[in-house]
Amino acid sequence: MEEDYKPSREAQRRLNPPMMETVKKQIMKLLDVGMIYPISDSKWVYLVQVVHKKAGVTVVENKEGDMVPTRVQNGWRVCIDYRKLNATTRKDHFPLTFIDQMLERLAGKSHYCFLDGF
């Protein structure tokens, strides 16, 4: 943290019922696998955002008979807005390795392991 940081508590915006249901399901899923845990006295509280999942573009015919590209919605994605927290943290002075350097080191290996948070 920076020396002069100030804790931030953001008020949650209202979500419509389908979005709220998505948030509840995601939170229960993360609680069940132990990635998160309940806490009641945090000085840092941030907004939960719900956005459309990325989907491909489909072409459909409109009322006038024109073919119009449209984006198909295939669900919701739950995100948290950490911009205020990021503004108070110290920057990492150890950047990640360039991808071409990593690929050179991995080339020709017989086994790979990929780790993902969830």
Q: What pLDDT was estimated at residue 25?
A: 93
How does residue 106 score in pLDDT terms, banded at 50, 70 and 90? Answer: confident
Nearest CA to 83 among 117, 52, 49? 49
| Residue 68: its H or E element | strand 67-71
Whether residue 3 lies inside any domain: the answer is: no
Whether residue 70 lies inside any domain: the answer is: yes
Tens-digit pLDDT profile for residues 79-90: 888 888 888 887
Over 80: is that where the pLDDT of 50 sits? yes
Whether residue 118 lies inside any domain: the answer is: no
Identify the domain containing residue 28 by its residue range. 17-106
Over 90: is that where the pLDDT of 76 sits? no
Beta-strand pair 57-61/76-80: unpaired
| Residue 57: its H or E element | strand 57-61
Q: What pLDDT was estimated at residue 86?
A: 82
Q: What pLDDT was estimated at residue 55?
A: 72
Q: How many domains does one find in the chain?
A: 1
| pTM of the model as a whole | 0.56
**How does 22-60 read in b/e, with b if 16+ C-beta sit within 10 Å?**
bbeebeeeeeeeeeeeeeeeeeeebebebeeeeeeeeee
Whether residue 12 lies inside any domain: the answer is: no
Q: What pLDDT was estimated at residue 73?
A: 67
Beta-bridged to residue 50, according to DSSP, are 78
